[in-house]
Structure 1
Amino acid sequence: MTRRPIMIFHAAYRLNPNAKSASGIRPVRMREAFSNIGYEVIEVTGSHAERRALIRDVKGRISAGLSVDFVYSESSTQPTGFGEPVTRATSYLRDIAFLRFCQRADIPVGLFYRDIYWRFPLYDALVGRPMATLMRRFYRMDLRGYRRARLRLFLPSMRMAEWVPIVPQDRFYELPPGSDAIDLERPVQAESNRAMNLLYIGGLGSEYRMQETMRAVAGCSDVTLTICTRESDWEVVKSEYRSVLSPNTTVVHRSGDELRELYAASDICSLLMEPSTYREFAAPMKLYEYLGHGKPIIATEGSLVGEFVTANGLGWAIPYSADALRTLLNRLTARPEELEEVRERVRAARLEHTWEARAVQAARILLTGMRT
């Protein structure tokens, strides 16, 4: 019987199969994907105490001759070691030391570096300036540890590399989020007189301003917009949208399997929001979730998402203005064949962006060093 190749999956926290946020979903899906593409996965995750025991065991097995193809690690949105409550077993150095041990044992190691929020002013607003100053020291300590360990760093996009200090640029590789390819059946309805439906699923904070999107839809009698966001998020910002909210826009609060009905009823998904520096390199998981559901995408011109959908013919990138969106929607309403052509391209392309495709990509990079 042929032995399955072995890889180590590491995360300095417990995996949550029921996670709702992108930062919780991705590590779970990547761990599953490595198994799905044929690897025997040795998992080194859990609480501080659990990881301490697992690291000790795995290091012993490697020293005894265990053959491991590579190590793939998923960082937290917090510095290493801060993803779990502090206990007597807490160490802020143990996990990176383990990755360095594997690298020195000639096992290729790659780590997905999730985010760079901490380098932006919005991080100070989020956690307060004193805490931000302290935490930035730990973020930089992580990066120095990655540099010393000579790890390969996976990023959501190569544009993000410009914002990551300390680590040499030649250590970065692109590894965006993935998704499942999901086939949907549209609810039975009179297609000839049905309004075109736009769908947005996600946050509505200061980095996700969509007033111009709502203003455009308010001026289109044959277009509707469904916004699905957390109820707590909506309560915070709804006063900012009062002047642009119209009967054409519906705000709902759903998650999990409840999203399936929203996707089935939609024609186009929206990532059209106010431009920001962060948007210029952000690769949101929702982009790939939209593709997985076979939905064309309207994105902001100049954003990474906008460039991606334009380059691949998977949607439209337009200026963030009500006039630009209204013009596009009127054109698509008058020319439904254009929308159908893009929809077919999305359905054909989505298999290139599954979680399994991402696992194959990561394995190839770690085993060969190839970027494509």
Structure 2
Amino acid sequence: MKTVLLYYPFQLAKNANSGSKLRPRKMHEAFLEWGKERGIEILLLSGQSKDRAALFEQWKSEGRLDNLLFCYMENQTIPFWLTDSGHIPKQPFVDSNVMSFLRGKNVPVGVFYRDVYWKFDELYPLKGAKKALMQFVYRMEERFYEKYCKVVFLPSDAMGSFVDINLPKVSLPPGGTDRIPGASNGSVPGEPSKAIYVGGINNEDYGLFLLLDALEKANADKKVCDLTVVCREDEFEKLPADKKERLERQGVAVRHVSGEDLNDLYLEMDFAFIPRYKSTYNDFSVPVKLVEYLSNGLPVLATNCSAQEEIIEGGGYGLICEDNAASMAAAISRMTGETGKYRENIKETFIQNHSWKARVEKVHESLTGGGGL
């Protein structure tokens, strides 16, 4: 039986409460579905380095790695050598042993390289000698991938120029649900539209208060949009009193929900916001919330950060504005009358082009040319 190896050199999170924790699980599930349709066994090699080493040796002795089509690997925000508990590797050579074995069998390997925040001084928190040491280790990780991989998978094409790995770079579909909900329970015709913002509220870069400026302008003559903000409760408690007062003054509903409660809230909405300020980093990153919004059938009004703009405009999934209040206010007024057509576009093409299964298909195509089945 032909097999595909998923290599995650880290412990899968039990509580997948963020995009970085959810993605490996969703990819595994999508690979299992894809493999079942094609009669291909999917082997997941993950966990602490000691566990990976033991399972790798077991599978080798059992011959389960003798007929591999390809290997899909993921990295994390820290180099894979440091992903064991306490950041001290118990089996420091297991990763090179696995990759050497695959190279010896001419098995193509592709790695999803999720982030390069460590290359941006304003984002990377370490300073001084610790920063220099960690950045050296990150560069070692890049050389490791260059040595053993065939393809580097990225969240967006725009990120490619920041990845110093001399290999073909392929952007993957963002990965969304295969089950977009039907009709929403949004606003009543003639009433203000209902919109939602989910995310951080204590970082200016996220643009919540830019959004409030725009909303104030859009609602000046006639209220066209009601806003619900979903954030962590502890973040809201830390918000300065004047900003809390502003939320209250503008009639913003603040909720602290997640999981199914959040999915239920999405059903009440007409569209969603991603008001991030445009920057070099934001231009190439793909917000997890963009995928979540679209997976719930919600059109998106977002700023013109390149990667999110490409997805939204490319699929006709919403509107793009500049990162200033006047441009965003105009887009809000326009969006309130156009959500229907964007919802239809999401239903028609989002699953086909951007689902987790579409992501798996892109990995397969990139590593094998679509052959080997």
What's the TM-score once normalised by structure 2's chain length?
0.88
Give the AA of the match of 1:247: Q
- The reply on whether 1:25 has 2:22 as its aligned counterpart is yes
Structure 2 CA distance for aligned equivalents of residues 240 and 90 of structure 1? 50
Residue of structure 2 in register with 1:49 after alignment: 50
Residue of structure 2 in register with 1:311 after alignment: 314
Equivalent positions of 1:244-255 (< 5 A) are 244-245=246-247, 246-255=249-258
Residue of structure 1 in register with 2:3 after alignment: 6
Residue of structure 2 in register with 1:171 after alignment: 168
Residue of structure 1 in register with 2:80 after alignment: 80
Counterpart selection for 1:213 from 211, 225, 232: 211
Structure 2 CA distance for aligned equivalents of residues 18 and 185 of structure 1? 30
| 8 A Cα contact 1:230 1:253, kept in partner | yes
Give the AA of the match of 1:41: I
Shift of 1:355: 0.8
Shift of 1:312: 2.4
Structure 1 CA distance for aligned equivalents of residues 287 and 154 of structure 2? 12
Residue of structure 2 in register with 1:95 after alignment: 95
Residue of structure 2 in register with 1:58 after alignment: 59
Shift of 1:367: 1.1
Shift of 1:128: 4.0
Equivalent position SS for 2:47: coil
In structure 2, the CA distance between the partners of 1:79 and 1:190, relative to structure 1 (3 Å rule), is closer
Shift of 1:150: 3.6
| 8 A Cα contact 1:213 1:273, kept in partner | no
Equivalent position SS for 1:248: coil
Residue of structure 2 in register with 1:361 after alignment: 362
Equivalent position SS for 1:37: helix
| 8 A Cα contact 2:59 2:65, kept in partner | no
Residue of structure 2 in register with 1:199 after alignment: 196
Give the AA of the match of 2:151: R
What is the aligned-residue RMSD (CA, Å)? 2.4
| 8 A Cα contact 1:176 1:283, kept in partner | no
In structure 2, the CA distance between the partners of 1:340 and 1:103, relative to structure 1 (3 Å rule), is same
In structure 2, the CA distance between the partners of 1:255 and 1:184, relative to structure 1 (3 Å rule), is farther
Give the AA of the match of 1:201: V
Shift of 1:49: 1.6
Equivalent positions of 1:215-294 (< 5 A) are 215-219=213-217, 220=219, 221-238=223-240, 241-242=243-244, 244-245=246-247, 246-294=249-297
Shift of 1:20: 0.7
Residue of structure 1 in register with 2:112 after alignment: 112
Structure 2 CA distance for aligned equivalents of residues 129 and 176 of structure 1? 37
Give the AA of the match of 2:258: S
Which range is displaced more, 354-363 or 173-182? Answer: 173-182
Give the AA of the match of 1:146: Y
Structure 1 CA distance for aligned equivalents of residues 60 and 350 of structure 2? 38
1:235-282 CA-to-partner distances (Å, cap 9, x unmatched) read 445568457533332222111111112211111111122112111101
Ranges of 4+ aligned residues in structure 1 off by more than 6 Å? none
- The reply on whether 1:161 has 2:160 as its aligned counterpart is yes
In structure 2, the CA distance between the partners of 1:122 and 1:49, relative to structure 1 (3 Å rule), is same
| 8 A Cα contact 1:178 1:285, kept in partner | no
Shift of 1:206: 4.7
Equivalent position SS for 1:13: coil
Aligned length: 359
Structure 2 CA distance for aligned equivalents of residues 248 and 296 of structure 1? 22
Structure 1 CA distance for aligned equivalents of residues 342 and 100 of structure 2? 46
In structure 2, the CA distance between the partners of 1:130 and 1:257, relative to structure 1 (3 Å rule), is farther
Equivalent position SS for 1:73: strand
| 8 A Cα contact 1:296 1:342, kept in partner | yes
Residue of structure 1 in register with 2:121 after alignment: 121
What's the TM-score once normalised by structure 1's chain length?
0.88
Structure 1 CA distance for aligned equivalents of residues 244 and 266 of structure 2? 25
Question: What is the aligned-residue identity percentage?
Answer: 28
Residue of structure 2 in register with 1:350 after alignment: 350
Shift of 1:185: 4.8
Shift of 1:171: 2.2
Which range is displaced more, 51-60 or 150-159? Answer: 51-60
Structure 1 CA distance for aligned equivalents of residues 189 and 333 of structure 2? 16
1:110-157 CA-to-partner distances (Å, cap 9, x unmatched) read 111111010011344x34444322211111111111112244211101
Structure 2 CA distance for aligned equivalents of residues 21 and 265 of structure 1? 23
